[in-house]
Amino acid sequence: MIYHLLWYLRDVFTHKIGFYAYEDVLFRSMAAVLTSFAIAMIFAPRIIRWLMRKKIGDRPEFHHVVLNELTRDKTNTPTMGGLIIIISLLSATLLWANLENPFVQKAIILVIWFGILGAVDDWLKLTSTSHQRSRHGLKPWEKLIFQIGGSVLIASFLYTDFANMPDGIRFWFPFYKYGLPLANWAFVLIAILYLSATSNAVNLTDGMDGLAAGCLGMVSAVLVILCYVASETMTRTGHITWASYLLLPHITKAGELCIFYSAILGAVLGFLWYNCHPAQVFMGDVGSLPLGAAMGYGALVTRNEILLLIIGGVFIIELLSVVVQVSYFKYSGGKRIFRCAPIHHHFHLMGWSEPQVVVRFWLLAAVFAAIALATLKIR
């Protein structure tokens, strides 16, 4: 809204020095970080109090006696704190982004779609009187249907946006400068896989104070850089792009998503203020599902699906730990590889304190982010 207001008034302030700074993506990205952080800090206490009045608190229950004992102090901590993040990031995006940009439009739809899905799941888990429904929320197949539906919708329109961008309809591998052409059905299939997997991966990681939020902040920062590199030029003349210099896919208009991912960064930092140990509020599915889907969406738009496996390395490890644990348990007749999955609980049961697990996973996320950025130069 601020972007469009300043654009409308551009002729009035033609001679004002610095007035056109609003056209700079990096300037608006910084503004989005500060705006979303401020909104989160202002509204978080009010939302937390509202959740407490509504008695929307978590009741951690695991099929592990020791883990239940370790997490008993978390009982009735307000959940659905992801509302803080969603409100902050959408507000900052609406204020600073060009809302006519097709990638921004779909990012907003994605967050709202998966946010509603997560909110319904949280509400059923935490407020229903039925014991079975209150513990499990939406059934897995119900949640999957809505995840697939949203993924198909976003992917179909995204493929249309890429119609005049040769790099957009190709699948790119690291260290290989030629992408493989993708048919419409293949593009949609990849989108379903990534958006569903990343949303569930973040959801699984959100099990300790500050763990998911801290890692999401680092992933968002990398996605800001990737979106900028995908579309921005190296010079004022506009003849050479960073993408061509680094042998990356060039996606026109993707740079506007810098504002969106900067808004996520500011929002999760503001949320982390209240979510760090000991947490005053938990993210819940209303936050983890849309933020995870946004992570996958950034990879799809910038055509960095493979690189996302490195950028979001912590989330991938968490997801794989659950898949491996469940598969091994099923086919071995009840044996386990980890003491508990997701894997952050395994380390907790090994004797690491919760802050130790969280900080060490943050460090791991920072290493993965650095490795991902390093690959941009060595291609």
Q: How far is the CA of 251 from the CAs of 55, 179, 227, 248, 292, in angstroms? A: 46, 13, 9, 9, 22
Roughly what angle, to the nearest 10 degrees, separates helices 82-96 and 25-53?
150
pLDDT of residue 125: 81
pTM of the shown model: 0.90
| Farthest-apart Cα atoms in the chain, separation | 76
What does 335-369 look like in DSSP terms, one character per residue?
--SSSSSSHHHHHHHTT--HHHHHHHHHHHHHHHH
Contacts of 285 (CB under 8 A, 6+ apart): 82, 117, 118, 119, 121, 122, 125, 137, 203
As beta bridge partners, residue 180 has 171
CA distance 13 to 9: 7
pLDDT of residue 113: 96
**What is the tally of structural domains in the chain?**
1
325, 63 in Cβ contact below 8 A?
Answer: no
CA distance 88 to 271: 9
Residue at 219 is within a domain: yes
Residue 280 gets the label, from left (phi > 0), alpha (psi -120 to 50) or beta, of alpha
147, 195 in Cβ contact below 8 A?
Answer: yes
pLDDT of residue 132: 47
Residue at 38 is within a domain: yes
Residue at 294 is within a domain: yes
Q: Which run of H or E residues covers position 330? A: helix 313-331
Q: Which domain holds residue 252?
A: 29-304
pLDDT of residue 250: 85
Residue at 314 is within a domain: no
Residue at 50 is within a domain: yes
Roughly what angle, to the nearest 10 degrees, separates helices 82-96 and 102-127?
160
Residue at 61 is within a domain: yes
For residue 171, give the 3-state DSSP assignment. strand
CA distance 178 to 253: 21
For residue 122, give the 3-state DSSP assignment. helix
* In the block, residue with structure tokens 């920072």: 366
> pLDDT digit of tens for each residue in the chain (379 aa)?
776 666 566 555 544 544 455 578 888 999 999 999 999 999 999 999 999 888 776 666 666 677 767 677 777 788 899 999 999 999 999 999 999 999 999 999 999 999 999 999 988 887 755 444 445 678 888 889 999 999 999 999 999 989 888 888 888 887 677 778 888 899 999 999 999 999 999 999 998 999 999 999 999 999 999 999 888 655 444 445 666 667 778 888 899 999 999 999 999 999 999 999 999 999 999 999 999 999 999 999 999 999 999 999 999 999 999 999 999 999 988 888 998 889 999 998 999 999 999 999 999 999 999 999 888 766 5
Residue at 209 is within a domain: yes
CA distance 301 to 248: 12
Residue at 138 is within a domain: yes
CA distance 205 to 215: 9
